Structure 1
Amino acid sequence: MPLLPGAEPYHHRGGPTGVLLCHGFTGSPQSLRPWAERLAAEGHTVALPLLPGHGTRWQDLQLTRWQDWYAVLSRELLKLSADCERVFVFGLSMGGGLALKLAAEHGDRVAGLVLVNPSVRSDDPATVLLPVLRHLVPSVRGIASDIAAPDSAELGYDRTPLHAAWSLSLLWREVRRVLPEVRQPVLLLRSPQDHVVSPANSALVLARISSVDVTERLCEQSYHVATLDRDAELIFEESLGFVRRLSGAAQPAAASDQRG
């Protein structure tokens, strides 16, 4: 299937600090593209992949599982690690959960995490029905574009495929299991008004990780997709400061952008 316009992956070859960005469930790289471009403009090496089943049509996502999404990110992390002195992982929503698993599994390869409204648990009691419901109902209403700013929109599916949602619930279980293994510095940015992911998700992350260097910031003017919302600049500046502090120096501007 052809990609939706704007859903293309993004790569930029820059300096010795790399950043891997992970988009959310049913979303696409479009939700993180301005963030990725800002990081590139600061001279960082950036990878923003398109996760399998995303960026085309919801029926394609129905055929994938969380292991497929995670495998792409794990390969990107290894590529960045081979080319860069240090690598940070940034994630939005489900991308935050995947970032946490990467940190737990890859240890020193991940220098730090920036999480925006991370998703690590279900807030819907009906989730327990997914093992059966997914065989009876193909999809339900989508969750994309929870944004306060009226002039902004997220490129995502208008339907949520239930086979993939069931797999997401298994990912949540796996992420919760490995949270104590996360020891890297963490910057967590959370929207108090989030209609997709409850505050309990961030609270659980902060309670269970073993990291000592932890900072929490509120995105008071944004909903779930805060990277495209009124607090986008806050996210960009806080994350750049986080990377500079842990890298010890700013990186020189450099090189080329690539799609694909």
Structure 2
Amino acid sequence: MKTGVLFLHGFSGGPYEIQPFADYIKERTDWTISIPTFSGHGEAEDLAMKGYEAQHWMMDAELAYRRLAKQVDEIIVVGFSMGGVIAMYLAIRYKVKKLVLLSAAAKYVSPTQLVKDIRFMAQDAMHKKLEENELFQRYKFKFKNVPLSATIQFMKVVRKTEPYIQNVNCPTFIVQGLLDGVVPSATGQFLFDRIRSIEKEIYMSEYGKHHICFSEDCELWFEKTFQFLYKE
């Protein structure tokens, strides 16, 4: 049986957001890896999201799934943030062997953590160290290049999928950061409780912010998730 893994990145992001985990799997298996880029997305400085809607991104994922399905016998889907929501959409509509949800944006914006992150940015700005702030570096292009209309479409993706989460029944591994300033950390448990999969696991990362593939403990959860995917 030939296995394929479809990786879906987040809103206003690109394949770089999930590349570390994709590389981890690539080094350890002969699985076929697919990391499509959603319409209007990509590297932060190349974003061109105006005019794209929720349906475009969901169709991008469906087409990527169908392309991969022509090459392999079974498909694992890994989704980060908005990609996690779209991954659930695929798991409901198509045959998915296993599902991995990374900081899946079934709920969005954790005000408490966001305030902390902004406070740290403000402190760095006062000490003229803003350019060294990891969060600022990651988001500075997005602040300029993500139109409000695109953000509304992202919320539509969540609204379209949220009522059907309980229809997810394939084996699922959930990873959620406790320091996530975009997706409230309680979302991980919300998803774990909501999906109907008999085989499901959750890993709450003590150090994880939203970009969970770059967390201090990523090697630990990479291994746990890989074992979950590899076992029959």
Is residue 110–residue 183 contact of structure 2 (8 Å, CA) maintained in 1?
no
| Deviation of 1:59 (Å) | 6.3
Q: Quick check: 1:204 aligned with 2:187?
A: no
For 2:59 and 2:102, the matched residues in 1 are separated by 21
Please, which of 131, 144, 152 is the counterpart of residue 166 of structure 1? 152
For 1:102 and 1:233, the matched residues in 2 are separated by 27
Please, which of 48, 66, 72 is the counterpart of residue 60 of structure 1? 48
For 2:184 and 2:51, the matched residues in 1 are separated by 27
One-letter amino acid matched to 1:54: H
Which residue is 2:69 aligned to? 81
| Deviation of 1:213 (Å) | 0.8
For 1:62 and 1:169, the matched residues in 2 are separated by 15
Q: 1:35 to 1:124 in 2, by over 3 A?
A: closer
| Deviation of 1:58 (Å) | 7.2
* Stretch moving more, 28-37 or 53-62: 53-62
Is residue 176–residue 208 contact of structure 2 (8 Å, CA) maintained in 1?
no
- Larger proportion of helix: 2
| Deviation of 1:25 (Å) | 0.7
Q: Quick check: 1:184 aligned with 2:155?
A: no
Which residue is 2:128 aligned to? none
Q: How does 1:100-249 map to 2 (within 5 A)?
A: 100-106=88-94, 109-123=95-109, 154=138, 157-159=141-143, 160-245=146-231, 248=232
Secondary structure of 2:48's counterpart equals helix
Is residue 120–residue 172 contact of structure 1 (8 Å, CA) maintained in 2?
yes
Which residue is 1:98 aligned to? 86
For 1:184 and 1:196, the matched residues in 2 are separated by 26
Secondary structure of 1:60's counterpart equals coil
| Deviation of 1:231 (Å) | 2.2
Secondary structure of 2:70's counterpart equals helix
Which residue is 1:44 aligned to? 31
Structure 1 runs not aligned, ≥5 long: 1-14, 126-148, 249-260
| Deviation of 1:74 (Å) | 0.9
Secondary structure of 2:26's counterpart equals helix
Which residue is 1:136 aligned to? none
Is residue 21–residue 49 contact of structure 1 (8 Å, CA) maintained in 2?
yes
One-letter amino acid matched to 1:45: T
Aligned residue pair count: 207
TM-score, normalisation: structure 1: 0.73
For 1:226 and 1:124, the matched residues in 2 are separated by 15
Secondary structure of 1:61's counterpart equals coil
| Deviation of 1:76 (Å) | 1.3
Structure 2 runs not aligned, ≥5 long: 112-132
For 1:18 and 1:81, the matched residues in 2 are separated by 8
Is residue 190–residue 202 contact of structure 1 (8 Å, CA) maintained in 2?
yes
Percent identity among equivalent residues? 26
TM-score, normalisation: structure 2: 0.81
Residue deviations 1:18-77 (CA, integer Å, cap 9, x gap): 110011111111111122122222221100111111125576212211111111111111
Moved over 3 A (4+): 56-59, 122-125, 153-157
| Deviation of 1:123 (Å) | 4.2
Q: 1:222 to 1:204 in 2, by over 3 A?
A: closer
| Deviation of 1:185 (Å) | 0.6
Is residue 193–residue 224 contact of structure 1 (8 Å, CA) maintained in 2?
yes
